[in-house]
Amino acid sequence: MTAPTSRPFYLDCDTGIDDALALAYLLASPQADVRGIGTVSGNVSAAVGARNTLDLLQLAGHAHIPVALGAHDPLGGSFRGGAPHVHGANGIGEVSLEAASVELASETAAEMLVRLANEHPGTLRVLAIGPLTNIAEALRLEPELPRLVEEITIMGGAALAPGNITAVAEANIANDPEAAADVFAADWNVTLVPLDVTMSNVLEESHRQELLASSGPVPRALGEMLGYYFGFYEGIFGRACSAMHDPLAAALAVGGVRAAVAPLVRVDVDTTFGPGRGQTVCDLRGLYLDYPEQPGARCRVVLSLEDDFAPHLVETLLTFSSESTTAGTIVGAAVV
């Protein structure tokens, strides 16, 4: 059997709990070679997200991966404080991690993305799992970015599903609709992983217990974080479980799972200030009839998967053994 090919990745995130799962998934995946990470305000501020990312990288034994601080405020407004009710005040479910000794990169997240795209022209893949401010800023710095990037995978939006911030808007897009509009208007290959698929793939308490029973500090830390996350989602699903937004986007980006239904469509973002603000307007008419090819259709919108995602996610995260990390062990809800 041929070994999977590793591809260079840039990750843009707002490191809360599901971002932590996505980061760990990428680090454990043989298909991903993470060359740099940028943070943006979303679940937490860009600065808190950067600290969480540095600490998680050290815990996972990957402190060599550079982390760049990105935009604090969206293009058209101010950061509104994040989602502590979902991710905890520190963004990672009140789990304490040993502070990393590595400093942030000297460049901004947008500058890092542009540099990596020029260093890996035509092969760099981008995974954006937070608001799209840094990506929009990178497009302004380098108008040729879409030609340099092989593909961008975005966790965000809702095609046929309801929103989770408003009736129609998902959080990552709603936090900076202007940036999202710029990103979707650019001429590159986009895969959108919306609430339609992330809310229908659920991580259960039995899966969390598998992580907590691991000998490795990374899975156990993630299991502790998920306890907080499950507490939020219990009010939505009626049981201790959670959606898998960001790790599902990561798995699709590296090819760890495959889409069953993913039409190529045109996507526009509502940037008005009415009730539709932040909506991803996906032209899905082709699902129901032989509709002519859409001008400007460049976004693959994932609506369903071929297989259940949770077992694959847990199996991948459990590849972090106690020998693979040196940063510490978990005591209660803290890693020290």
Token pair for 66: 């550079």
Residue 169 gets which letter from DSSP?
B
How many degrees, rounded to 5, is the angle at CA 43 between CA 255 and CA 258?
15
Catalytic residues: 14, 245
Give the number of other Cβ atoms within 10 Å of residue 177's Cβ. 26
- For the chain, report the end-to-end CA distance as a whole number of angstroms: 40
Q: Report the half-sphere exposure of 251 (CA within 13 A, side-chain side).
A: 28
The phi, psi pair for 151, rounded to 5°, reads -160, 150
Token pair for 317: 């995260």
3-state secondary structure 284-319: CHHHCCCCCCCCCCCEEECCEECCCCHHHHHHHHCC
Q: List beta partners, residue 202.
A: 243
CA–CA dist 326, 312 (Å, integer): 25
For residue 259, the one-letter residue type is A
Give the number of other Cβ atoms within 10 Å of residue 33's Cβ. 15
CA–CA dist 320, 39 (Å, integer): 24
